[in-house]
Amino acid sequence: TQLLEQSPQFLSIQEGENLTVYCNSSSVFSSLQWYRQEPGEGPVLLVTVVTGGEVKKLKRLTFQFGDARKDSSLHITAAQPGDTGLYLCASSGSARQLTFGSGTQLTVLP
Q: For binding to another protein (CB under 8 A), which residues are involved? A: 4, 6, 31, 33, 40-45, 48, 50, 88, 90, 92, 95-103, 105
d(CA 89, CA 107): 17
Q: Of 83 and 104, which has the nearer Cβ to another protein?
A: 104
Q: Of 40 and 110, which has the nearer Cβ to another protein?
A: 40
Under 8 Å between Cβ of 65 and 54: yes
CB of 42 to another protein, least distance (A): 3
CB count within 10 Å of CB 71 equals: 18
d(CA 23, CA 75): 12
CB of 63 to another protein, least distance (A): 14
CB of 56 to another protein, least distance (A): 13
Q: Of 32 and 80, which has the nearer Cβ to another protein?
A: 32
CB of 48 to another protein, least distance (A): 5
Cβ-proximal residues to 4 (8 Å cutoff; 6+ apart), any chain = 23, 24, 25, 89, 90, 91, 99, 100, 101
Q: Of 19 and 91, which has the nearer Cβ to another protein?
A: 91
